């Protein structure tokens, strides 16, 4: 089932997510629905707060990035089919010199800005079978993980912009909250006037 994606301005996007355990109700269905929702919106990642749940869960599938011709064959191969579920994740370490990448977010349609992040990340997480992993990721995979991880910490990429950039996009963000935007996937807008 495709779930509505929560738009910028909804308080759930500002909440720090809580850990879940194996008994979390209907987790398999939730994961199926989240993947379906993400693919439907052509996303490469989706975090639970974006569908209204303040829990430490996010999913990633970087396959759409893998046909980028600017990447090496090796990088394309790493991105193709990289599909993961991250539960109760903790970033243990971020390393290297920050690099800029033009990020977007399914909760903030049509806004894209350069965001600086470190290139290498060590993360501890549980997979969908609640098996513990500690892994190191870099490049675009690390980038997507960092973006989604921010969601479960209540942080959006727009929070990371300069105050000038924030002022420049303020009006567009307000319009997104009100639903004054064309978007080709299902969304829920916090400040939309109810139709009578």
Residue stretches of the annotated binding site for Fe cation: 105, 147, 151
Pairing of strands 187-188, 132-138: unpaired
Quick one: 116 or 130, whose CB is closer to Zn ion? 116
Interface residues with Zn ion (CB under 5 A) are: 105
* Residue nearest Zn ion by beta-carbon distance: 105
Active site residue: 95, 103, 131, 148, which one? 148
Residue 110: CB minimum distance to Zn ion, A: 13
Residues 66 and 79: beta-carbon distance below 8 Å: yes
Backbone angles phi, psi at 119, to 5 degrees: -80, -15
Quick one: 30 or 59, whose CB is closer to Zn ion? 59
Those residues whose C-beta lies under 8 Å from the C-beta of residue 132, and which sit 6 or more positions away, are 124, 125, 126
Residue 105: CB minimum distance to Zn ion, A: 3
Give the whole-angstrom CA distance, residue 44 versus residue 33: 15
95 is catalytic: no
Residue 45: CB minimum distance to Zn ion, A: 7
């Amino acid at each position: 089932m495709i779930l509505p994606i929560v738009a910028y301005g909804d308080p759930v996007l500002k909440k720090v997510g809580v850990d879940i355990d194996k008994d979390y109700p209907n987790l398999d269905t939730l994961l199926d629905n989240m993947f379906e929702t993400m693919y439907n919106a052509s996303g490469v990642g989706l975090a639970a707060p974006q569908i209204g749940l303040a829990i430490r869960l996010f999913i990633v599938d970087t396959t759409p990035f893998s046909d980028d011709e600017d990447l090496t064959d090796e990088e394309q191969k790493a991105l193709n089919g990289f599909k993961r579920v991250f539960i109760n994740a903790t970033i243990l370490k971020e390393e290297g010199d920050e690099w800029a990448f033009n990020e977007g977010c399914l909760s903030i349609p049509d806004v894209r800005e350069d965001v600086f992040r470190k290139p290498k990340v060590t993360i501890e997480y549980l997979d969908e079978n609640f098996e513990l992993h500690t892994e190191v990721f870099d490049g675009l995979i690390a980038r997507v993980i960092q973006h989604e991880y921010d969601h479960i910490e209540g942080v959006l990429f727009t929070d990371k912009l300069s105050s000038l950039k924030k002022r420049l996009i303020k009006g567009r963000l307000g319009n997104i909250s009100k639903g004054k935007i064309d978007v080709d996937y299902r969304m829920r807008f916090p400040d939309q006037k109810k139709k009578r």
